Amino acid sequence: MMPPTTLARRAAPVLACIGLLALWQVAALALKNDSFPTAIEAIRAIPSILGDKEALINIIASLRRMAIGFGVAVFVSIPLGLMMGRSRAVAAFFNPLLMVIYPVPKAALMPIIMLWLGVGDITKTLVIFLGVSLPVIYHSFEGAKAVEEKMLWSGAAMGLSAAQRMVWIVLPASLPEILTGCRTGLVLALITMITSEMIARQSGAGNILFNALDMGQYDTVFAMIIIVGAMGIGLDALFERVRAKLVRWSEPQFDIPLSFS
């Protein structure tokens, strides 16, 4: 049996979604505007999008770019962030570069990248990569910096080399912080994915959305917003499950009544 608090926690997001949709429905009915379909109209348009082969190919292409951009970013950013957190020289080298890149909206770089690399997959994937990298680097850096020195000393006394300590101590010790960065990165990947397709209109979920907008198919526009939103919520929830499992050991625990005697 699920305790009532767990039940409430699980039900809360669902209730929030239903509430939002209901609010939308009422607002759309009240405004009676052509460019603002009701929630029910938008939801009705979803099956025809997901049933359309062309649209499906577009959405899958988007997801593929997002997965590659996110994957490569995580793969590169975690080691970089960890090394920056443990080595003053590495941090001093990369910090100025990151400080410059950090506040620039990654989508604003798109025109330049498009000029160099064209409007294809590479450009869009690169923008996603850039969007994901910074939070992951930052959180990996913070995580590695906070690793207790005595823990590393204990490892060194057991015979772990500097490289081994990085992999077997710094990495797991920083994992809670790293995964926090990855979670932010995942949402940013979705955002930069849509933005990039909005700028380089050629394929993808963002492209369907803005084409529909151009043609005045507002129910499709809103249906796409729902689809993209659901993808974001789904991915985030999935990631959160994996994260919680991986760092169970670090979550504070208040209810274990143990004392040694």
Which is closer to other proteins, CB of 43 or CB of 156? 156
> For the window 89-128, what string marks contact with other proteins as x by the rule CB under 8 A?
----------------------------------------
CB closer to other proteins, 42 vs 170: 170
Contact pick of 52, 54, 148, 214 for other proteins (by CB under 8 A): 148
Choose, by CB under 8 A, the member of 173, 188, 199, 223 that binds other proteins.
173
Q: Which of residues 218-257 bind other proteins (CB under 8 A)?
A: 249-253, 256
Q: Which residues of 147-167 are buried (b: 16+ CB within 10 A; e: fewer)?
A: beeeebeebeeeebeeeebbe
Member of 34, 99, 159, 245 binding other proteins (CB under 8 A)? 159
Beta bridge partner(s), residue 86: none
Q: Which residues 175-194 are close enough to bind other proteins by CB under 8 A?
A: 175
Say whether residue 83 binds other proteins (CB under 8 A).
Answer: no
Closer CB to other proteins, residue 52 or residue 148? 148
Reading the block at residue 70, the tokens are: 């996110």
With respect to other proteins, which residue has the nearer C-beta, 96 or 159?
159
Q: Smallest distance, Å, CB 66 to other proteins? A: 29
CB of 257 to other proteins, least distance (A): 11
HEC string for 161-210: CHHHHHHHHHHHHHHHHHHHHHHHHHHHHHHHHHHHHHHCECECHHHHHH
Is 260 near other proteins (CB under 8 A)?
yes
Nearer to other proteins, 5 or 253 (CB): 253
Find, among 120, 136, 32, the residue nearest to 84 by Cα.
136
Spatial contact of 174 and 86, defined as CB atoms under 8 Å apart: no
Q: Should residue 31 be labelled a site residue for other proteins when binding is judged by CB under 8 A?
A: no
Backbone angles phi, psi at 201, to 5 degrees: -80, 100
Site residues, other proteins (CB under 8 A): 148, 150-151, 153-154, 156-160, 169, 172-173, 175, 249-253, 256, 258-260
